[in-house]
Structure 1
């Protein structure tokens, strides 16, 4: 067996409409449709049938913060250049979404933030693919601060 790519992510969310404002309206995912009497919604970036499924669970306990087992964050490619990342930073600021970190990973550059349910989201752009194609270990390069 060989994995081809990560297909989709499913998040349990407190409020489906709040999460749609974040993922659909702010980050630009396209809503495919709702199921489970409107308590779940599928979204896509256009790459495949759906990359994200949100399921409303109301006031169920949130995962603990800090180090823990389970999902750390998801990465979402939002463009192809640092200008795209700068634009995203401005849009997040305008929407009142705090940026919790900015990193240069050599093979990509990233902004970090939390969604409405405190899931960590990485918004990134890739550096020139020749960097990792010529040197696959570049993905393990020390993380540097990113200044935009």
Structure 2
């Protein structure tokens, strides 16, 4: 077997409408449908049928923060240039989203933030793909600070 690509992520969320305001209305995913009597929504960026499924669970316990086993964060590509990342940063901050960090990973440049349920989300742009195609080890280059 050979994996083709990571197809989708499913999040349990406290409040579906609040999460849709973040992923659909702010980050720009398109809602493609609801299931579970409207308690879950499938979203797509247009790349495939859905990349994200949000399932409302109400006041279920939140996962612990900090180092733990399990999901660390998801990455969402928001463009191809630092200008697009700057624009995304301005839009996020205008919406009241706190940027927890910014990093230059050589192969990509990233902003780190939290969704309404505390899940870490990386919004990023890729650098020129020749960097990692010519040198696949570039993906593990030392992380540098990013200033936008």
The interval holding the TM-score normalised by the smaller chain is: over 0.9
CA distance in 1, matches of 2:84, 2:137: 26
SS in 2 for 1:5: coil
* Structure 2 counterparts to residues 32-51 of structure 1, below 5 A: 32-51=32-51
Q: Which residue of 2 aligns with 1:141?
A: 141
Q: What is the RMSD of the two structures over their aligned residues, measured on CA atoms?
A: 0.3
Alignment TM-score, normalising by the size of structure 1: 0.99
CA distance in 2, matches of 1:84, 1:38: 34
Aligned residues: 148
C-alpha deviations, 1:90-118, integer Å up to 9, x for none?
A: 00110000000000000000000000000
Greater than 2 Å deviation, 4+ residue runs:
none
Gapped regions of structure 1 (runs ≥ 5): none
CA distance in 2, matches of 1:104, 1:130: 16
CA distance in 1, matches of 2:114, 2:93: 13
Q: Which residue of 1 aligns with 2:131?
A: 131
Q: Which residue of 1 aligns with 2:65?
A: 65
What displacement does 1:50 show? Answer: 0.2
Asked if residue 24 in structure 1 is aligned to residue 54 in structure 2, the reply is no
